[in-house]
Structure formats: structure tokens, C-alpha cells
């Protein structure tokens, strides 16, 4: 069962990442004191936290609903290639852009250091299948936005292992508690970021195994706690009661809880615009960095020469960037993610998973 509002959430989060990086690249150099009052919600970091919580939810929801070990094995086997195949084609796209001399970020202080290295097809393959997924690569690579992919990949394997244990309710609760403590004590940098995966699995557990809803009293408590957490964040700007990492986790948790609790929000994130953004979300995420350093940078240079003001140049560049990246992401999503990946998934990896599942099942029955 596909939960459509999750795709919409993922799409808006990808758009927030794009806008955040656009502001960093083309706004801050002219307005260094620019400060977004909604940066806690409308920031790339918060969007990545939401990505991780969505992953925990979506990867576990089918198993919580149906206890389908065959499907779990399919997801486990295909997970690496679900990430690596689109990354390969996006890296080839970057390779082509660099080879044709279409990187125009030299005059941009925020982008000037990206995509300045010797390129080769060997490095493209190494980056696509090893560095981007299995190793946390530095920012000055074929795709600086992919720093989160190794975290995503390894966390998904842990989630699959946890689900395969098929624990009862008390066992799952103990597993969640132990996981939280392990992360908070083991990871010194950004520990609450990793907790988003666990929180996503917990929400999936609650959502799928109970008729989850908030009573009117619970909704009042929810709004009160949400406002308190926001207020404490802005107080912590001076007092620093907790880290921003913690407050992002709290805000994203409350936001996600609101979405799975309120049908009105689910309808918003299941609408046509949200569905379109969800459809192109991964393509947008893995393509936007090189587009900002090529197409957007070229447009920005054109705008500075032909427009009378910087705000007009920024607006022109932003609108054209959105249009261009939506078209490219849609084409990429349609041909690579929907056609090629679907063909590979169902004709190779799912058949392999069925073969392994059927043979191991027969072996276990024979032994019994």
C-alpha cells in the first residue's frame, strides 16, 4: 500500500533543499545579513531531518501492515541499486556538463570550489557505486548534495534487520529505547539527526498497527507543545538550552505527527502539486547541485548584465531555475526512475528475491 501524502511531503522537502541552496548561492553574497525567520522549518537541514523520518516510516510501513517477509527481502536486496542507478545517471549528467565546459560558477564565492577537478569515467563509476553510497564523501565531489546518502543507506539496512526480527510490541518498544540511547551516546556529531529514522519507524508502527487519531483534548495538547517547542527554540538562540540539532528533531517530529494525525494536512500533501513534487523529488535532489553551478550561474551572470537591479536578477534566475529543474527532473524521473528502475526491479531483483525466498522457505519446511 502506497501512502500518497508521504510522497508529497518528500517532494516539498526536496524543494526546500533546492531553495535553501539557491539562497546560499545567489542571495547571501549580496545580502550577507539576510536571515529567514522561518529557518527552523524552511531550511535544508530541517528538510533532511524530514527525509530521514520519512524513510523510517515508508521503509517499515508495509511490513507493519502485512508482516510480509517476502516484500521485506525484496526491499533489502534492491535498496542499494534503488539509490545507485539514478546516482549513476546523475553523475554521468554531471560528467557531460563538466566535459562540455558548462560550469559557470567561477564568479560565485559560494559555488566557485565545486566541480573543479579532473574527471574520468572510472571516477564516475567509483563515485556512483562506492563513494556516494558506502563512503561519506567530501563536498567537492561529483555531487556535493549526496552527503546524506550513506547515512540513508546504512540506516535502511538497520531498519530491515530490526523488522526481520518480527518482535512483539514490548520487544519493539525496548528496541526503540535502546536505539535512542545508543545513538545519543555513540554519535558525537548531530546525534538527533540519526534519531529521525527511529522516530519514523515508531510513527509507522503506531500509524499502521492502531487506528491512530488524536482526540480533541490531545489536539489541544499537541498545539500547546508545538508552540512551546518553537518558543524554546527562539529563546535558545541566546540561552542555548539545547542544540539546534535537538530542536530540529523536535520540530520535525511535531510536524510529522501533525501530518499523520490531521486528514486536512494529508489531503494537502496528496494534492496535484504535492504529488508532482513527490514524483520528481529524488531526481530534483540529486540533480540540483550541478544545475545551480551551470545553468543557474549562467543565467545569473546574464541577469547582472541585463537587469537594472540585483533583486530582479535573483527573481529572474530563481524562476528560470525552477522551470528548468522541474523539466529536467521530470524527464529524469520518467525515463530513469519510473521506466528503467521499474524494469530492473521487477525483472531482476524481485525475481531474485522470490527465488531466494521460495528456496529458503522450502528448505526450512523440509528441515521441520
Q: What is the distance between the alpha carbons of residues 30 and 309, in angstroms, rounded to a whole number?
A: 11
Band of residue 213 on the pLDDT scale cut at 50, 70, 90: low
Neighbours of 239 (CB within 10 A): 8
Q: Is the pTM of this model over 0.85?
A: yes
What is the model's pLDDT at position 239?
40
For residue 297, give the nearest of 111, 20, 104 by alpha carbon: 104
Buried/exposed code over 87-126 (b: 16+ C-beta within 10 A; e: otherwise)? bbbbbebbbebbeeeebbbeebebbeebbeeeeeeebbee
Give me the residue spans of the domains in the chain: 4-367
Distance of CA 60 to the CA centre of its chain: 16
Which residue carries 499523520 as its cell?
Answer: 260
Q: For residue range 278-320, what is the model confidence (pLDDT) as tens digits?
A: 999 999 999 999 999 999 999 999 999 999 899 999 999 999 9
Q: For residue range 32-74, what is the model confidence (pLDDT) as tens digits?
A: 776 665 555 567 888 999 999 999 999 999 999 888 999 999 9
Higher pLDDT, 255 or 220: 255
Q: What is the distance between the alpha carbons of residues 198 and 202, in angstroms, rounded to a whole number?
A: 6
User: Do 279 and 270 form a contact (C-beta atoms < 8 A)?
Assistant: no
Amino acid at each position: 500500500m502506497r501512502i500518497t501524502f508521504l510522497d508529497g511531503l518528500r517532494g516539498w522537502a526536496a524543494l526546500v533543499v533546492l531553495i535553501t541552496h539557491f539562497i546560499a548561492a545567489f542571495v547571501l553574497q549580496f545580502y550577507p545579513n539576510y536571515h529567514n525567520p522561518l529557518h527552523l522549518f524552511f531550511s535544508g537541514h530541517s528538510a533532511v531531518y524530514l527525509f530521514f523520518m520519512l524513510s523510517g516510516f515508508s521503509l517499515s510501513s508495509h511490513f507493519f501492515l502485512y508482516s510480509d517477509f517476502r516484500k521485506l527481502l525484496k526491499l533489502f536486496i534492491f535498496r542499494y541499486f534503488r539509490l545507485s542507478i539514478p546516482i549513476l545517471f546523475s553523475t554521468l549528467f554531471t560528467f557531460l556538463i563538466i566535459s562540455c565546459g558548462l560550469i559557470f560558477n567561477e564568479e560565485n564565492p559560494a559555488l566557485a570550489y565545486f566541480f573543479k577537478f579532473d574527471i574520468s569515467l572510472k571516477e564516475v563509476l567509483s563515485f556512483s557505486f562506492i563513494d556516494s553510497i558506502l563512503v561519506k564523501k567530501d563536498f567537492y565531489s561529483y555531487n556535493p548534495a549526496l552527503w546524506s546518502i550513506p547515512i540513508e543507506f546504512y540506516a535502511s539496512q538497520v531498519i530491515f534487520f530490526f523488522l526481520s526480527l518480527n518482535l512483539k510490541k514490548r520487544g519493539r518498544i525496548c528496541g526503540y529505547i535502546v536505539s535512542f540511547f545508543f545513538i545519543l551516546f555513540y554519535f558525537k556529531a548531530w546525534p538527533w539527526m540519526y534519531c529521525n529514522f527511529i522516530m519514523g519507524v515508531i510513527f509507522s508502527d503506531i500509524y499502521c498497527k492502531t487506528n491512530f487519531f488524536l482526540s480533541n483534548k490531545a489536539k489541544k495538547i499537541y498545539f500547546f507543545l508545538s508552540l512551546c517547542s518553537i518558543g524554546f527554540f527562539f529563546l535558545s538562540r541566546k540561552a542555548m538550552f539545547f542544540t539546534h540539532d535537538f530542536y530540529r528533531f523536535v520540530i520535525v517530529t511535531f510536524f510529522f505527527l501533525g501530518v499523520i494525525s490531521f486528514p486536512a494536512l494529508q489531503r494537502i500533501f496528496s494534492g496535484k502539486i504535492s504529488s508532482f513534487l513527490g514524483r520528481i523529488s529524488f531526481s530534483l535532489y540529486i540533480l540540483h547541485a550541478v544545475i545551480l553551478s551551470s545553468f543557474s550561474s549562467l543565467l545569473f551572470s546574464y541577469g547582472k548584465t541585463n537587469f537594472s537591479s540585483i533583486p530582479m536578477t535573483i527573481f529572474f534566475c530563481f524562476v528560470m531555475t525552477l522551470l528548468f529543474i522541474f523539466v529536467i527532473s521530470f524527464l529524469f524521473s520518467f525515463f530513469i526512475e519510473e521506466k528503467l528502475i521499474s524494469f530492473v526491479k521487477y525483472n531482476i531483483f524481485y525475481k531474485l528475491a522470490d527465488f531466494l525466498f521460495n528456496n529458503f522457505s522450502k528448505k526450512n519446511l523440509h528441515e521441520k
